[in-house]
Structure 1
């Protein structure tokens, strides 16, 4: 049987290296695609060269690629608490899907034809039984000695072959044993599928169904293994990733050029007063210190990743495995920024008339976010969406005013409110920029507070999105701190060189963080 395979910073580079449309689904297929797209490529054009590339053999490159792939898989399991292995399915209508369907149909038709002979031919059936036997044995744990003996005894292929030759083979009896064994070994969530197998009486459809359920059981076992190794992997993953990246770096010495540029550009922006984030734990307008500490520079560098131009700026090599996560957080923050700006405008206009009304704030926020849900889609119509948001906000405010006995807004006041809401669609809108600056202030404060083990202060105007913002901050902090732990030696060296060139004596402390529990 054919088996199924279970704010944009300056960058000066025009070559992107990750597809923004890549699916975030945590499957083996999508992970492999992400690894292929994200693995640093020494053959890129327009790559800044910090040192000349070294010629390596094909064998060395293959071994290195294998190490990077393993590192990416371990990283995915550790940082993605929801990581699940999912079955690989070719797209409907694709050539791969058509070929697969044709091959499977031919196989099962052949089996049916063999069993329909007089006397029946059991060559294909015995091959299937051998595959089923191996699969059942693979599900066993070390303590399953009795079950192992039963499987070996009942599915003895030599004995089955002799029975077939003598016309004494009872396929239905063997199928019943297989189903019973599957029922003992499967997860409780598969009990319904097992019961359905018992209701199938025709041999070929029964074997087809058995293999489908076994494929599900393989996925269940793989996910059980992932959840089992995650705690142990967490303890070792920092050293493991550091070691694997160093092996890659030994073969490609220029593989951190974009990482160095990322840190260099951040330090330059801070030292020259060009930092557009305006973010500081002391407040949006707090001055950046003229004598930078590596940790300050490093935290600001991570903040830049949330306003990154993924289409034209190459991402730092050390963070490629998490590029999609940073981009998704960036999209979520853009949506929250607009929602908070719109709510600030609405409440500033309506004042005490709607302030404190139960459920209104959440209803308004949900409406705005729903209408912005497809904002990253190429077909998203910005003008239409913001016009609809303005109409919906005015309708909700008007209804609340009437419900609580307040005078309705005049036509001029409604028109002014709509105009202010529609203006939020512009990236340089003053209210939108204010909210964006305060969000960056909060996120930077969150990084700093996690190092001081104290709570970050929520700036004004962000209360309506506090819950969502804190969820993003936690994910952001975990990624940042884990990355610092893995690449601390490299970052320390780069930051010391960068700050020394900028006239700042760099202290020797390592810019490493801690993984939040």
Structure 2
């Protein structure tokens, strides 16, 4: 009992000190980054490129803007949100923004998890659209199917990995569908539909696969909603992806923590970058 009381007191103390710890962390990161900029000719080169991609620098501020500073802040906020989402689609050989140098490993990991979840969601949608409305309505089947797909894709990191594992996924999915149809006394999938489903699953490895692209876009919109609301819950899960709610929310929570802290530390730099790039009021 005494040990539990000590643990509770330690947790309480940490909780009370958390704002101070975060504040110290923010100040320390700002100082270290300022030191980094002091020895670089252009230490924000990649950050500028990343952020300004979401801003029309040719558009002058509206003539009726009451506060130019507030106007800039609103533009920075919107551009930052959109730019943060770009980090989940980052090209492998493209340097990260300098303001995310210490987060690169975590961002790569989240990008990989998001890509994997996109593939899982796509396979689920393709399978359920072929399985018929009766199976689509059975939660137990969908949960089991998702688990089996997730296990087969757990080591997938690249599109090449995905392409190599999809034949096994297709066989597992077809077996799951047939087993469920027998279990629930439904008409079993015929050879033609089985071949069609197998082909559709194998096509998912294509980078321009339409359903995969749609799933990806819905996920990005979900993450953007999370960032805009600054909370990982509760947000409406994208249509067709409710089976992935737990996984989506977990990724969103991790991503939100990274970008929220980053924005707290580096917002002053983002403001200066945007302010310098936009036309000044007449």
Q: Per the shorter chain, which TM-score range?
A: 0.7 to 0.9
Contact 2:233 2:249 in 1 (8 A): no
The answer for the alignment partner of 1:303 in structure 2 is: 85
**1:294 matches 2:76:** yes
The answer for the alignment partner of 1:429 in structure 2 is: 209
**In structure 1, distance between residues paired with 2:228 and 2:272:** 21
**In structure 2, distance between residues paired with 1:334 and 1:428:** 13
The answer for the alignment partner of 1:350 in structure 2 is: 131
**In structure 1, distance between residues paired with 2:169 and 2:116:** 13
**In structure 2, distance between residues paired with 1:299 and 1:477:** 11
Shift of 1:420: 1.1
Shift of 1:488: 1.3
Contact 2:174 2:194 in 1 (8 A): yes
Structure 2 residues not aligned, in runs of 5+? 4-13, 60-73
The answer for the alignment partner of 1:236 in structure 2 is: 24
Higher radius of gyration, 1 or 2: 1
The answer for the alignment partner of 1:71 in structure 2 is: none
**In structure 1, distance between residues paired with 2:210 and 2:82:** 22
Trace 1:20-31 onto structure 2 (pairs within 5 A). none
**1:326 matches 2:114:** no
The answer for the alignment partner of 1:392 in structure 2 is: 172
The answer for the alignment partner of 2:236 in structure 1 is: 457
TM-score between both structures, scaled by the size of structure 2: 0.82
Q: Which moved more, 1:480-489 or 1:456-465?
A: 456-465
TM-score between both structures, scaled by the size of structure 1: 0.46
**In structure 1, distance between residues paired with 2:245 and 2:225:** 14
Structure 1 residues not aligned, in runs of 5+? 1-186, 188-226, 272-291, 506-517
Shift of 1:349: 1.5
Moved over 6 A (4+): 227-230
**In structure 2, distance between residues paired with 1:228 and 1:466:** 29
Shift of 1:372: 1.6
Shift of 1:377: 6.9
The answer for the alignment partner of 1:473 in structure 2 is: 252
The answer for the alignment partner of 2:261 in structure 1 is: 482
Shift of 1:423: 1.0
CA 1:339/1:450 → structure 2, altered by over 3 Å: closer, same or farther?
same
Structure 2 counterpart SS, 1:459:
coil
**In structure 2, distance between residues paired with 1:388 and 1:397:** 14
Residues 238-269 of structure 1 deviation map (CA, whole Å, 9 limit, x = unaligned): 12211221133223352111111111223369
The answer for the alignment partner of 1:366 in structure 2 is: 147
**In structure 1, distance between residues paired with 2:96 and 2:109:** 14
Aligned match of 1:339 in 99, 104, 120?
120
Contact 1:353 1:401 in 2 (8 A): no
Q: CA RMSD in A?
A: 2.8
Structure 1 counterpart SS, 2:91:
coil
The answer for the alignment partner of 1:245 in structure 2 is: 33
**1:406 matches 2:186:** yes
Structure 2 counterpart SS, 1:267:
coil
Contact 2:181 2:188 in 1 (8 A): yes
CA 1:454/1:342 → structure 2, altered by over 3 Å: closer, same or farther?
closer
The answer for the alignment partner of 2:46 in structure 1 is: 258
The answer for the alignment partner of 2:67 in structure 1 is: none
The answer for the alignment partner of 1:46 in structure 2 is: none
Contact 2:118 2:212 in 1 (8 A): yes
Identify which of structures 1 and 2 has the higher relative contact order when contacts are C-alpha pairs closer than 8 Å and 6+ apart. Answer: 2
Q: Size of the alignment, in residue pairs?
A: 254
CA 1:228/1:413 → structure 2, altered by over 3 Å: closer, same or farther?
closer
**In structure 2, distance between residues paired with 1:332 and 1:352:** 29
Shift of 1:395: 0.5
**In structure 1, distance between residues paired with 2:163 and 2:110:** 24
Contact 2:116 2:157 in 1 (8 A): no
Shift of 1:425: 1.0
**In structure 2, distance between residues paired with 1:472 and 1:454:** 12
